[in-house]
Structure 1
Amino acid sequence: MKRLILLILTMCLANCVNAQKEHNPQILSTAHIQKHAAYFTVENGKINGKGRKMIKKMINSSQFITYGETHNSKQVSLLIKSFMPLLKKANFKYFAIEVGPSSAKKLTELSIPAEKTVENIRAFNTKYTVSQGSETAEPIPFFAGVSDAEFLQAARMNNMELWGIDQEYYYSTFFLLDELMTTVKGSPNYGKLTQLKKGAMQIMYKHFLDEFAKKNDGAYGLIVKEKAVNNFFNAFKKTNLAAQEIIENLKVSWDIYIRWRNDSHVDRISYMRNNFMAHFKKALKSEKEPKVFTKIGSLHASKLISNGAFDIGNLTEELGQKNGTVSTTINTWVPFSKTKNGIQNNLEKYKRSYGRYAIFTKLAKENEWVIINLKSIRKALLDGSIVLPSNGDYHKLKKLIFGYDYQIMLPINESIVPNRDQ
């Protein structure tokens, strides 16, 4: 009888303790986060370590993966390259990138055959990159480095189709004018168009040089009014659909750049969403569940409203919910950077940006990647087993945990090595 009473009392005590824990849940800490984290390395295009299992599971369970990157990072490019074989095995066929539609077509052309990608892009960048003082005008953003060309090569060797969803880059105009001319090769008016192009280029260069010298507020506001430029565009026949597509892409892009002070950001995001959906609807015609990997800036990858817009991460989340599939979004941080003065601790240098995330950033390592499953942490928050701190950290932590599904922190980051002849 005494044993029975003791057992009942023990059970009651345990229930009371559990009830108290539920009533007073623990505050999210580094110890909690560590349970949902895994480290890995990337060597020779392959992911090694415990993080590989988490990444494979993430890829295999998703229809959409939106990777929110830190731009111009060599380590990000190495990671994206290592994703490609895993994406192929999971039947991902489409690679959406933060470049314009016409630029994506050019990258597709430059990656045929796939094994010549690095070499072809090097020649392209050498031809079209222009330097003026401290300014470097690259023809296509985020594909200027050797490591960038290498991940593109890996994507194309794994049969990924490129989707260009963004506006055409500020300095893409000069190579796209040459692309326009390829649409009329061999035509009777090729000579006339060559002369018109020469006039358009001269006035464009003048406005760009003036912009570099701070003599105007932006080249495109002046370029769109130039008779020489409009005469060149108007000389292409309406029946030349390839030319009209390039011209339209340029005009839309220029308009967004011109109005950047007047809320054109949301027009840019809508343009990106519309381009993504046009590609996606086309893919739906040939398969029931197209799988899309997107590489884009971290702000664009959030599931929540970001910088005043419902961005690509929000769009893929909506599509996943509609399809009954999984849309995964990833955020990236760069805790350490290699500089000419040694290793820079960005967590210390940029405290304003990283300070509120201290319970996460304590897990960063100089020589390993770490991936953190935010979905699991989010689930614990929703079921009440843990809570967020009640101080100012609450806001940034909630935005991170509910905006993304995974957080990746890089090892020591290096700047990209330019893929062009100097």
Structure 2
Amino acid sequence: MKSLLLLVGLMFSYTCFAQKNKVVSDSTKFNRYLLQHTSSFTFDGHKPSGAGWDILEKQFADNQFVAWGEYHNSTVLSQLSSYALEVGSRYGFKNWCVEVSPFVASELMRFAASANPADSLLMVSKDHPNYGTFPFFKTTEDAQMLVTAKKYKYHIWGIDQEFQLAFPYAINHVYNAQSAKIKQTYKPVRDSLLAKWWMPAVKLLDSLRNAVPQPIYKRVLDDIKVSRTIYYEDNSLMRATLMKKNFYQYYDQTKTKNEKVFFKLGANHLAKGLNLMTHLYDIGNSVYELSQRNQTNFTNVYFIVRYTTEDGRIIDDLASTENEYPKEFLQLYDKDKWVVVDLRPFRVRYRNDKTLTDDTYQIIDKYDFVVVSPEVQK
């Protein structure tokens, strides 16, 4: 009987204690941390200034791998990335990993060394002005990144598949590098490949491949063959596997395993854990685990944009019912500043009580920083 009374007393005391100390909701915790761990910086197109940038710059000092997860086709973000390349070089970064194929990376290196990289890019993309022939490299601001990479002696690593719009460029490049005899014999093959350039026939690719003697050009054609399959099957697993394979081919050739790498890829590729869209372990998770193996560090930054334009209208992602980015971060938008949220202190025991959106919980788990851009993207 005494034991029963004691148990009832303990339960009563616990209930009273719980009532006096109500469980704090996730949204309350989140907003409290926002006040403590949000900063900002301004950017005039040349040099950023402010506490937010100081935090981002410090990541180059503290990490072997710094990953900027971008929203694509932003001239402003290209300008900021150009400055990041300059800053990274001060901390020993010498490799720049981008979302292009190995072949296109070699072409970007060649353009960077040319007298006018902007003219080279514009000339290549003249047939595809909206998207560019090379993914995410088509503007004068993109060319400035190449100039900066050249100035600070970066190696450009292209780890992605071949971009579909680059198929004709790559096929012509391989063909034009051959002897007069091979070109004469295989001109019908080249012409047939270009006639259906968006999905070239495998037999024709293999025919040309078997004729060219240079291993580097055989690989270009092999990459096109793999990429056409990825496009045809919409095969995200094949693409993620290819990105890892290409990365390690570059990485294994470095002089030391602690060489630093700056990544500028689409944000979803750079998540820790599963990719938010494909739900696969992508290149970001692989590099994160590599940093643990090396006993170095990896940090990833999730860049988001609130306002875009479509047919002359400004679209507010915060007001959309199908918003691309979490509303909890979109509401931090400042038209004059880049807003930086350090998510690392947020990794407390969230209860997943649905007072935050599911996307917000995942961003906190998968990224170290969120940066809200002031850009109205065109």
TM-based fold match above 0.5: yes
Q: 1:341 to 1:140 in 2, by over 3 A?
A: closer
Runs of 4 or more above 6 Å deviation:
none
Q: Which residue of 1 aligns with 2:100?
A: 99
CA drift at 1:155? 2.3
Over 3 Å counting, the alpha-carbon distance change for 1:245 and 1:206 in structure 2 is: closer
Equivalent position of 2:331 in the other structure: 362
Counterpart in the other structure of 2:88: 87
TM-score relative to the length of structure 2: 0.86
Provide the rounded CA distance (Å) in 1 between the counterparts of 2:175 and 2:370: 45
Deviations 1:35-76 (A, max 9, x none): 211111112421111212111212211110111111112222
Alignment of 1:70-85 (within 5 A): 70-85=71-86
Shift in Å at residue 88 of structure 1? 0.6
Within 1, Cα distance between the matches of 2:374 and 2:192? 45
Structure 2 counterpart SS, 1:393 = coil
Q: Which residue of 2 aligns with 1:232?
A: 208
- The answer as to whether partners of 1:338 and 1:412 remain within 8 angstroms in 2 is no
1:281 and 2:252 aligned: yes
Mapped pair 1:203 → 2:203: no
Q: Deviations over 1:168-188 (max 9, x none)?
A: 11121212123213543xx4x
Change in CA separation of 1:170 and 1:345 when aligned onto 2, cut-off 3 Å: same
Structure 1 residues 194 and 38, CA gap change in structure 2 (3 angstroms): farther
| Equivalences for residues 243-254 of structure 1 within 5 A | 243-254=217-228
Distance 1:178 1:352, change over 3 A: closer
Consecutive unaligned residues in structure 2, runs of 5 or more: 1-16
Q: Partner residue of 2:109? A: 108
Deviations 1:280-337 (A, max 9, x none): 1111xx2351100111111101102111311111011101111111100111111123
> How many pairs were matched up?
359
**Alignment partner, residue 294 of structure 1:** 263
2:290 to 279, 296, 319: 319
2:201: which partner in 1?
223
| Shift in alpha-carbon separation, 1:139–1:44, aligned structure 2, 3 A | closer
**Structure 1 length-normalised TM:** 0.78
Q: Distance in 2 between matches of 1:138 and 1:342?
A: 23
SS of the counterpart of 1:410? Answer: strand
Q: What is the match of residue 172 of structure 1?
A: 166
Q: 1:101 to 1:206 in 2, by over 3 A?
A: same
Mapped partners of 1:249, 1:358: distance in 2? 39
How does 1:12-411 map onto structure 2 within 5 Å? Answer: 24-25=23-24, 27-113=28-114, 116-126=116-126, 129-130=127-128, 138-184=132-178, 187=179, 190-194=180-184, 196-197=186-187, 199-208=188-197, 219-220=198-199, 223-226=201-204, 229-237=205-213, 240-260=214-234, 264-283=235-254, 286-306=255-275, 307-338=278-309, 341=312, 343-349=314-320, 351-354=322-325, 357-378=326-347, 381-382=348-349, 387=350, 390-391=353-354, 393=356, 395-411=358-374
Identify if the C-alpha distance between structure 1 residues 389 and 310 changes in structure 2 by more than 3 Å, giving closer, same or farther: closer
Kept after mapping to 2: 8 A contact 1:39/1:49:
yes
How far apart, CA to CA, are the structure 2 residues paired with 1:149 and 1:334?
22
User: SS where residue 371 of structure 1 aligns?
Assistant: strand
Take 2:203 and 2:211, find their aligned partners in 1: how far apart are those partners? 16
Q: Output the amino acid matched with 1:121.
A: L
- Percent identity, please: 23
Give, as a single letter, the amino acid of the residue that structure 2 aligns with 1:51.
G
Provide the residue aligned with 2:6 in structure 1.
none
User: Which secondary structure state, in structure 1, belongs to the residue aligned with residue 207 of structure 2?
Assistant: helix
Larger deviation: 97-106 or 45-54? 45-54
Letter in 1 for 2:289: E
**1:371–1:407 Cα contact (<8 Å) kept:** yes
RMSD value, Cα = 2.6
Paired with 1:150 and 1:281, the residues of 2 have a C-alpha distance of: 28
Q: Is the 8 A contact 2:176 2:183 kept in 1?
A: no
Contact 1:343 1:412 in 2 (8 A): no
